[in-house]
Amino acid sequence: MKAILKSLIILLVLFSIRSSAQNFFTASGKEIISPDGKAFLIKGVNLGNWLVPEGYMFKFKKANSPRMVNNVITELIGPTEAKKFWILFQDNYITEKDIEYIKEMGANTVRIPFNYKLFCDETYLWNNEQRGFELLDRVINWCEKYNVAVILDMHCAPGGQTGDNIDDSYGYPWLFESDESQQLMTEIWKNIAEHYADKKIILGYGLLNEPIAHFFDKEKLNPKLEPLYKRVVKEIRKVDKNHLIILGGAQWNTNFSVFGKPFGDKLVYEFHKYWMPPVQEQIQEYIDFSNRYNVPI
């Protein structure tokens, strides 16, 4: 009888652990699985221009990066008023009504691009008060209310991961040349993961957006990408073992040749594809990758 009771207790504990983990988004083979245990197909909206202002969304012709957009605003109204402007902008650009509307339109996910400076002491848009968690918490709580999954996307990494306007960098992906920048990126992601470790509405963490533009030395830089991902994932897993981690390929997320065999579980691989006809052959290489390694894309 004691042996039977012991076995039942072990089974109950294992079931409890499995059920707890299943309350998070997870991966099973090539599918993302939602907290209700069903396959989840992302139908999403990117909350662009909110935490990473982009010139084309302001209809600017030349000022394209967050830094340059801020310069235009500052030249118009001065630094004191510019700081007030950006606080109001961040507080009002995305509201609860927006999340409700996104849900009503049939989307099930929002992707939130952010600048790393919102999570450290560096000045960003005339502010160094680390508003990152304040702003994200607000929207994530709304997403919980309307059952909209969240992907957090580091669009601008320390030093710059792309080397173009989208990462607010200085014309080169200095992230891959600076251990200090890589360490800061790692620490920020670890802090974010620890802060949101229990948030089950979060689908996953997108570590870098579109790293290493195509006009740089790919042979030199591409081999540095996956080791950096491994470094960051290792630290995230110390505080958060549940959430999915999303890895983008090199050259605008198009180049998956930088990846070897998946180095952990709960990994999702992200590709971007622009200016193409909507036919399968255009994305076949990514489907092949998914089939080869039995991972979600």
How do residues 52-85 score in pLDDT, each as one tens digit? 999 999 999 999 999 999 999 999 999 999 999 9
CB 250 within 8 A of CB 258: yes
Single out the residue of 17, 27, 148, 123 nearest to residue 66, CA to CA: 123
Supply the pLDDT for residue 6.
Answer: 47
Q: What gap in Å lies between CA 204 and CA 72, rounded to an integer?
A: 34
CA distance 19 to 85: 46
Please name the residue ranges forming H helices in 132-255.
132-146, 179-195, 218-221, 225-236, 250-253
Instruction: Give the model's pLDDT for residue 174.
Output: 98
Domain ranges in the chain are 22-293
Q: 9 pLDDT exceeds 70?
A: no
* pLDDT tens, residue by residue, 17-38: 344 456 999 999 999 999 999 9
Q: In what order do the strands lie in the sheet with 267-270?
A: 44-46, 109-115, 149-156, 202-206, 244-248, 267-270
User: What's the CATH code, domain 22-293?
Assistant: 3.20.20.80
* Nearest Cα to Cα of residue 149 among 202, 97, 98: 202
Q: What amino acid occupies position 214? A: H
